[in-house]
A = this chain, B = another copy of it.
């Protein structure tokens, strides 16, 4: 019947147009700018759409208009305890406005990130979201000439070009010292994660070191050799608390390490915070379930996703905004005081 090349077998604008007795562009307008189509035609088209179960082909629309309704996001990992919230809220806000999320994981590898960005760009996404400010040179080149809104989340690097939506890891480190110092502790140690790649964690360490120095205290950084976070935590507790001059408080690079360390201590008969204050980062789901519950800092994970989505929608003109779109979005972390410190 039709040409030699068969499509998907689904109804097209042309089918709808024919059935409704209008031209295809009118059907297109019915979806994109309903207000310019007269009431009478709107009704006829609506009926035809209903009858044919018509669904607009997004690939075709995106190709023709050169404005695809896809937003791409590279995240270190989906299943980690923190980033999931960012993805969730980001995706929800986008979906609500008819955009779809394309997702890939970098596992903290800048090479994997670059691969993902390259693959994404083939889809002509409307915008691109990256995690952290640390990328490969290739990624930098790609995003520089992508010509779409770019958002960097999680970190906060005011000097960089892409939109920033995140928080200051440096400040987190300082805040932890501040809190523990206020509690009277002086020998405050920091346990780094040995996981290569999570460069933001090093910023927290640097904040810790800076604040310690300012207070006239000597920084004391422990770097575990174990890769498994729970093992690494155990290692740290053993080393820091089982010595002549034990640490009075231990700041861990994240809640996993903190939980591992605390658990090892508890099983060895220690008690917290009596035998040492334990301080985490991340406010993972389990942190309030531990006994003692874990004092930690909650990063604005959900908020990051929401704000990032909002800024993108604004940049795309989908959401009204008066004035400039803020280039810098510094969100607040929340120190959650519980029992362990």
Using a CB–CB cutoff of 8 Å, the interface residues on chain A facing chain B are 6-9, 53, 55-60, 62-63, 66, 68, 77-81, 84-85, 87-88, 91-92, 95, 98, 100-105, 116, 118-124, 145, 147, 230, 259-260, 263, 266-267, 284-286, 288-291
Contacts and interface: CB of A to CB of B under 8 A. Distances in A.
B98 A88 contact: no
A81 B285 contact: yes
Given A91-B105, A105-B92, A124-B59, A266 B286 contact: no
Given A58-B124, A259-B289, A290-B291, 5 more contacts: A59-B62, A79-B85, A100-B120, A101-B104, A266-B291
Nearest to A260: B289
A116 B95 CA distance: 8
B78 A88 contact: yes
A122 B9 contact: no
Contact of A122 (B57, B88, B102, B145): B57
A291 B291 contact: yes
B285 A55 contact: no
A5 B131 CA distance: 35
A59 B68 contact: yes
A55 B289 contact: no
Given A59-B59, A79-B88, A289-B230, A66 B98 contact: no
A197 B149 CA distance: 37
Contacts of A87: 78-79, 103
A261 to B, nearest CB: 11
Nearest to A233: B289
Contact of A55 (B80, B84, B85, B118): B118
Contact of A7 (B66, B120, B286): B66
Contact of A78 (B77, B91, B291): B91
A296 to B, nearest CB: 13
Contacts of A103: 87, 91, 101, 103
Nearest to A73: B103
A289 B119 CA distance: 38
A213 to B, nearest CB: 33
Contacts of A118: 55
A102 B104 contact: no
A121 B55 contact: yes
A195 to B, nearest CB: 16
A57 B62 CA distance: 11
Nearest to A289: B259
Q: Across the A-B interface, give the 6 residue pairs with the lowest CB-CB distance, nearest first.
A: A286-B286, A79-B84, A79-B88, A58-B122, A59-B59, A78-B88
A122 B55 contact: yes
B259 A286 contact: yes
